[in-house]
Amino acid sequence: YLYKKDTKSEEEFLNTTLALGNNKTSYTNIAKENFDNKKEALELSYDLSIDNYVKKVENKLFINLDIDRVLSKSKIDVEDKKYDKKIDHAYQKNYMTVLNIPDGYSASFIPETLSYNSPDYGYTITYTQKDNTIIQNKSIYVNTLSIKKQDFESWNEFIKSLIKAYKKSIILERNQ
């Protein structure tokens, strides 16, 4: 991080390294935990704002909280891939995204819990509403260093399920 960050602001680092959002993305309240401790997981916390991210149709707002779509481009081409797929390292990534419901709106649709679990890889995405906030907790894990050729179909089912989960949106409706 220090090597790459020397010439970048924290906001530029988050934009380029995490590749979240687009050129309309801004970060505030950036906090880092376990930054100098390589034995503990790095924790980043920040407020993210993306202009024109919400889709509005009549009196409804459609909001997708999955800005970081980890593994979404990891499908294996079963026809062409001859050898096992190597994975650099096992990991678990946990995300918590909080959406503040704007004044004058209420949630009319919140996705159900979505999950895929196998010993080697999986995810769980939950949504809960507390007062005027909706909290999405997302956990994605890969516990293997390779996907065996005979497991390519299973891996692809996992990726397909994850992509489907990423497409779920929250719907907020203007109060009457």
Write out pLDDT tens, residues 24-66: 677 778 777 877 777 777 777 777 777 777 888 999 999 999 8
pLDDT tens across 4-31, in order? 455 666 656 665 666 565 566 777 787 7
Q: What is the spatial distance between Cα 85 and Cα 7, in angstroms, rounded to a whole number?
A: 35
Give the predicted TM-score (pTM) of the model.
Answer: 0.80
Tokens 């995490």, located at residue: 18
Buried b (16+ CB within 10 A) or exposed e, 139-154: ebbbebeebeeebbee
Q: What length does the chain have?
A: 176
Query: Per the structure block, which two tokens stand in for 91?
Result: 């990991």
How far apart CA 161 and CA 137 sit, in angstroms, is 17
Query: Token pair of 12, please?
Result: 């530029």
Domains, the chain, ranges and CATH? Answer: 1-52 (no CATH), 54-176 (2.60.120.1130)
